[in-house]
Amino acid sequence: MNATVKYISRWLISGALLVSAGSCSEFLEEPDRSNFTLENYFTKPEHAESVVNSIYENLRNVLGGGFGGAPWMMLEFATGLANTELGQAQNSIFVRNLVNNSDNGYGATYWTNHYRGIANANLAIAKIPGITMNEAAKKRYLGEARFLRALYYYELVRIFGSIPLIKDPIDLKSPDLYAPQASVEEIYKLIEADLVEAEASGLPNADVTGRASLGAVKSLLSSVYLTMAGYPLQKGAEYYKKAADKAQEVVQMKSFSLFPSYDDLHNPAKKNTGENIFMVQFAAFVLPSNWQTSIIPYNQGISAYTDETGAIFANKEFVESYEQGDKRVAEKQFYYSSFSLRSDRTKTRNLGGYYLYKHFDNTAQLSTTSSDLNWTVLRYAEVLLTLAEASNEANGPTAAAYEAVNAVRKRAELPELKGLSKEELREAIWRERWYELSFENKTWYDMVRLRKAFNVTTKKFENYVGHKFSYGPTLKDRELLFPIPTAEIRNNSKLKQNPGY
C-alpha cells in the first residue's frame, strides 16, 4: 500500500509524551482516542501538544536491532566500514555487499515511517493555528513541528533523492494522494524554510526534556547548508559561509559543550544535556532503547541479554586507521574488543573484533536488560566539525576553523592542527568527521555530499564512484542513492525508480 494512503486514516499516532525533567511517568501517556475526528479534535491546547508529540514518536521506528538487523544499520553498511556476524540479516548483507535492491525492508521502513512523521507534522502545522490557546505556546509547538518535518525530509531526500513533497494534510480525495516526485532543490527549499521559521518560534536555547530547541534548529540548519554547498546541489561558497555562520551561532549560545569524557556519550544520566543537542527519547522499563543486543558479539556470553546477535561492529581496518595515540580507539572508549563473562565477571574474553562502545548501556548490559539510553541525532562535536569544514571552505584555514577542529582533537588527546594549506586542512577535518562521528548515521551522508570515500589503507580520500571497500566490493553511481521501495513504485505510477535499481 502506498505510504500516503496507508497513514491518512491514522492521522494521530499514539501521542507519546517525551521524558520530562522530573519524571518518566508521562512518557507513554496517550490521549483518549475515542470518537476522534479531524473536525472535533483540534479544539484544546492539549490537542496541540498531543499532535506534536505524535511527530516525535516516528523518530524511534528506524532504530532497534535483533536477529533481523535494523534500518539504521543500512546507513552504516553502505560506508564499507561496518561488519556483521548475523548471517540471517539479509537486508544488512545486501547493502554491505553492494547488491542492494528495492525489496530491502530497511529502505521501506525509512520511507513509510518518515512519511508518517511528515503526515503528522503537516496536520499539526495546519490545525494548531486554529486552536484557542496561549499564542507563545502555539508558536513553539508549530516551531517543533516544522523542525521535525524538516528533519524527516532531510533524511529522505539524502537517502532517496527526488521524492514526493507533501506539505498539507491529505485524504482520499487529495491530489497529493499519489504525489509525483519533486526535485531535490524543491525539497531543500522546504527544509530551509521550515528551519528558518522554527528559528523564530520562541524555542528555548536548549531543552533537557528532549523536545526540539533553538540549538537543535540551528545545528540542523548548519548541517543542511553544508550539504547544500556540496552534492547534489553544489551551491558552493555562499552556502559554506551560511553553514559556518549558523554553526557559529550555536557555539555563541554557550548552551552546549563537549563532554570531558567519552563515557558521557552513552551515560543515560547525561541525556539531553551538555554535548547532546537533540536525541531520540527512550526510557528503561517503559520504552527501552532496543539496539543493545545488536552491538554485542554473537553468542560470546558477555551480556545479561540472552540474545547476542553481533548484528553490527566496526571493520578492523577502519579502527586501526585512527591516528597513533587517539584516545577514541583506546579500549572502551568508542569501541571495545574484550569484556567480562556473564558467568564470571572476574574473567575476560577477547572478542576478536571491535564492537561499538559509544552506543553501549553498561547498566542494561550487565544487569537490567532494559536500556535507558537515548539515540543521538545532533551533538556539539558535529557542530564544531561543521564549523571547521565550512569555515575552511569559505575562507581558508581561519583561526575559527582551527579552534573548532582542535577542540575535538584535544579531547582525543591528539596534537593541534596548524600551518596547513586549505587542501591539507580540508582532508584533516574530513578525517575527524569520519573518526568522531563513526556509527552515528553521519558518514554515508558525508560520503555522498562530498562524493568522496576514505581509504583505510592510505588514509586518504578518493572518489566515491570507483572506491573499493577493504573487503572487495566497489561503489558505483547507483550507490549515491538507495532504491525507492518496490511497494511505493508499484502503487504510485508517478514514481520513477532511481538509476541502477
In a domain, 253, yes or no: no
Q: What is the largest CA-CA distance in the chain?
A: 67
Between CA 187 and CA 404 the distance in angstroms is 30
Would you say 145 and 121 are in contact if contact means Cβ atoms under 8 Å apart?
yes
| Element spanning 7, H or E | helix 3-8
Using DSSP's 3-state secondary structure scheme, residue 335 falls into strand
Using DSSP's 3-state secondary structure scheme, residue 460 falls into strand
**pTM (2 d.p.):** 0.94
> Which residues span the domain enclosing 59?
3-202+482-491
Query: How many angstroms from the chain centroid is the CA of residue 433?
Result: 14
In a domain, 303, yes or no: no
Would you say 122 and 347 are in contact if contact means Cβ atoms under 8 Å apart?
no
Would you say 21 and 60 are in contact if contact means Cβ atoms under 8 Å apart?
no
pLDDT at 3: 53
Minimal CA–CA distance to 72: which of 159, 2, 200? Answer: 159
Between CA 362 and CA 358 the distance in angstroms is 11
Which cell numbers in the block locate residue 308? Answer: 547476542
Q: What is the tally of structural domains in the chain? A: 1
Residue type, 235: K
Would you say 33 and 126 are in contact if contact means Cβ atoms under 8 Å apart?
no
**Strands 375-379, 344-356: pairing kind:** unpaired
For helices 399-411 and 237-253, give the axis angle rounded to 10 degrees. Answer: 60
Buried b (16+ CB within 10 A) or exposed e, 85-101: bbeebebbbbbbebebe
Half-sphere exposure for 18 (CA within 13 Å, toward CB) = 25
| CATH code of the domain containing 29 | 1.25.40.390
Q: What share of the chain is helix, strand, coil (3-state, %, to 5)?
A: 45, 10, 45
In a domain, 388, yes or no: no
Minimal CA–CA distance to 29: which of 61, 10, 57, 59? Answer: 57
In a domain, 230, yes or no: no
What residues contact 87, with CB distance under 8 A and at least 6 apart? Answer: 93
**Strands 276-280, 82-83: pairing kind:** unpaired
Residue keyed to cell 505524535? 54
Minimal CA–CA distance to 163: which of 107, 124, 123, 125? Answer: 107
With vertex at residue 344, the alpha carbon angle to CA 339 and CA 347, rounded to the nearest 5 degrees, is 50
What residues contact 324, with CB distance under 8 A and at least 6 apart? Answer: none
pLDDT at 18: 32
| Element spanning 189, H or E | helix 184-199
Residue type, 193: A
In a domain, 235, yes or no: no
Neighbours of 335 (CB within 10 A): 23
**What are the mean pLDDT values of the chain's consecutive 10-residue runs (501 residues total)?**
43 34 37 57 91 96 92 98 96 98 98 97 97 97 98 98 96 85 98 98 98 98 98 98 98 98 98 98 96 96 95 98 98 98 96 98 97 98 98 97 98 98 98 98 98 98 98 98 97 96 97
SS (H, E, C) 222-283: HHHHHHHHCCCCCCCHHHHHHHHHHHHHHHHHCCCCCCCCHHHHHCHHHCCCCCEEEEECCE
Which cell numbers in the block locate residue 237? Answer: 561558497
In a domain, 393, yes or no: no
Query: How many angstroms from the chain centroid is the CA of residue 23?
Result: 26
In a domain, 215, yes or no: no
Between CA 404 and CA 413 the distance in angstroms is 15
In a domain, 133, yes or no: yes
